[in-house]
Structure 1
Amino acid sequence: MYKKHLPQRPDGFAKYRLQQHQKSKSKSSLHALPLSKQRALRRNLIFIGTTLGVVLVLSLISKAYAAGGSYVVDDGAINAPGECNIDAWHTANRHHGSTHNETLSAACTSAGVPWLQWGAAVARATAEGDGETQVSPQLKAQLWSREDLGIEVAASATAHFALNRQHTFDGADLSIPFTWQPLEALRLNVNAGWTHAYDGGEQHHRLTWGTGFEYDVAQSLTLIAERYGQEGGDQAWQAGPRVHVGKNIDVDLVVGRSLIGDRHQWLTTGATLRF
């Protein structure tokens, strides 16, 4: 799993000011209101218009898939035989603009071996001007799937190689993702695993865990949240909406926070393409 101690874009609305004289009666009435009420009214109109626009867009697009992307907690599913996906995301630290990372990941399942998904990720992490690039090949096998029970179990293995370190091999992760779907709109994910990593030249072995849920609010909108950590190491949570644009594209907006140390906060934006 990638460390995401990473910056957040500032939010807020810019102040609105009147630029010209009102000529119609409706404009005159608006202009006659106190300045504070004018601003409140305009903010409400903008909010209503934006909400209606989002609802309209969501009603015109259909659902793709959930799980994966920039989220750490994996699910028990793999791609259908003959299908692939490409994920790309950018994570930025809220309080340290020079700390961020970018990741490009791809995975496929061949028709000849329908139970095995293979892929790789390339991640570039930058902190205080220093950057590091990591390549991570991955295999994920589906061990058990019962559609009638809503249960999927898989096993995944990932190796990490740093391109600009003295020790190229940077570590490995093993994980057992488990997914249970008690309701059509709700999926619960649980991960249990083990990680091996080099930290400052020292080797560390830790147990890893994670829990999360995916809830389909609408046909084209899923809410996702997760909590994950390592034994004696990182602890964090992430959450956010996922919009399904058509059948093959997902767009994520994720907020996360570390639960140890300085409790760094980050914002991630990402997209997934399936083909």
Structure 2
Amino acid sequence: MAMTRLCRLLLLLPTLCPMLAMAARPMITDDARVVDPNSCQLESWAKHNRDSTEYWVLPGCSPRENLELTLGGAVTRQDGESQNSDLMLQAKLLFKQLETNSYGYGLVVGHAQHPRLDNNSSMIGNTYAYIPVSASFFSDKLILHTNLGALHDKENNRTDMTWGLGSEIPLANKLDLIAETYGDHRSRPYYQAGLRYWLVPERVQIDTTYGNRMHNNSDERWLSIGLRLLSAPLW
């Protein structure tokens, strides 16, 4: 019964919160945190690339302690037209919660569907897994996140090793500086940096970031703006 309610919440959250069509989850490097048990969140963002804009919505819920399930996707607008571009299903399990002046770690597995590069109407799938590790220093004045994992590219029938390194640094009472770099073992890494602000502590958060590929002047740069909502326990 609890899982049935969870699935319904995951499917209904985007329709219950239409104002989130232009919002963002800022960091690609994941953290060793999950939402509170029996609670949900909605991470969403608009990412403006050089030739397109992506609108993402990722609702997630915690059916029990230390477990978070996410189901969502994106719509991309390019050349004046919109189309479905991505679908994602992910599960995160924590083995140790992140605490002040300590560390946490877990396991994430997921599957993402993407459009084919040749404009074929069919979708291709990538399956991935990684280990998120987070550590707190100086009473949460610095929090570091690392990811190490793998992604299987179905279309090219290959597996890439993936990695990420991110940081959170409080600048003021409700304002954080965030920065990260991430990539895989086959190509130049990406970087991203920005600000995160709590409009309502522990409930409503906004953010904005700028990113690009290392040693790239402009072709792959992007800007994002995002909104994150967290609920009180729902069941």
1:181 maps to 2:136:
yes
Structure 1 counterpart of 2:55: 102
Alignment partner, residue 215 of structure 1: 169
Aligned mates of 1:229, 1:219 — CA distance in 2: 32
CA distance in 2 between partners of 1:181 and 1:118 (Å): 24
The CA deviation at 1:178 is 0.4
Cross-structure match for 1:238: 192
Q: State the Cα distance separating 1:213 from its structure 2 match.
A: 0.5
Secondary structure in structure 2 of the residue aligned to 1:218 = coil
Please state how far the C-alpha of 1:70 moved relative to its aligned partner: 3.1
Letter of the 2:70 partner, please give it: G
Q: Aligned partner of 2:75: which letter? A: R
Mapped contact 1:135–1:163 kept (Cα < 8 A): no
Q: TM-score, normalised by structure 2?
A: 0.77
Aligned residues: 201
1:168 positional shift: 3.6
The answer to whether the 8 A contact 1:116-1:142 is kept is yes
Indicate if the aligned counterparts of 1:235 and 1:260 stay in contact, CA closer than 8 A: no
Which sections of structure 1, spanning at least 5 residues, go unmatched? 1-67
Map Cα deviations across residues 87-118 of structure 1 (whole Å, 9 max, x no partner): 1110112xx3x4121100011112xx212111
Alignment partner of 1:143 is 2:95: yes
Q: How far does residue 239 in structure 1 lie from its aligned partner after superposition?
A: 0.4
- 1:167 Cα deviation from its structure 2 partner: 4.8
Q: TM-score, normalised by structure 1?
A: 0.67
Counterpart of 1:205 in structure 2 is 159
**1:162 Cα deviation from its structure 2 partner:** 3.9
Matched residue, 2:26: 70
Kindly indicate whether residue 65 of structure 2 is the aligned counterpart of residue 114 of structure 1: yes
What do residues 43-71 of structure 1 show as CA deviations (whole Å, max 9, x unaligned)?
xxxxxxxxxxxxxxxxxxxxxxxxx9231
SS of the residue corresponding to residue 132 of structure 2 reads strand
Task: Provide closer, same or farther for how the CA distance between residues 139 and 227 of structure 1 changes in structure 2, counting only shifts above 3 A.
Answer: same
In the alignment, structure 1 residue 250 sits paired with structure 2 residue 205: yes
Aligned pair in 2 of structure 1 residues 229, 146: CA closer, same or farther (>3 Å)?
A: closer
AA aligned to 1:269 is: I
Q: 1:263 to 1:235 in 2, by over 3 A?
A: farther
Give runs of aligned pairs for residues 1-275 of structure 1, distance below 5 A.
69-93=25-49, 96=50, 98-110=51-63, 113-128=64-79, 131-145=83-97, 147=99, 149-162=101-114, 167-184=122-139, 185-198=141-154, 201-233=155-187, 235-247=189-201, 248-259=203-214, 263-275=219-231
CA distance, structure 2, for counterparts of residue 146 and residue 269 of structure 1: 26
Contact residue 91 and residue 108 of structure 2 kept, 8 A: yes
User: Kindly tell me: are residues 252 and 237 of structure 1, through their superposed partners in 2, closer, same or farther at Cα, counting changes over 3 Å?
Assistant: same
Structure number with higher strand proportion = 2
| Structure 2 counterpart SS, 1:73 | coil
Q: Is the 8 A contact 1:132 1:162 kept in 2?
A: no
* CA 83–120 in structure 1, closer or farther in 2 if over 3 Å, else same: same
Distance 2:157 2:186 in 1: 14
Q: Following TM superposition, by how much is the alpha carbon of 1:245 offset from its aligned partner in structure 2, in angstroms?
A: 0.5
Q: Kindly, what percent of the aligned residue pairs are identical?
A: 21
Query: CA RMSD of the aligned region, Å?
Result: 2.3
- Higher helix proportion, which one? 1
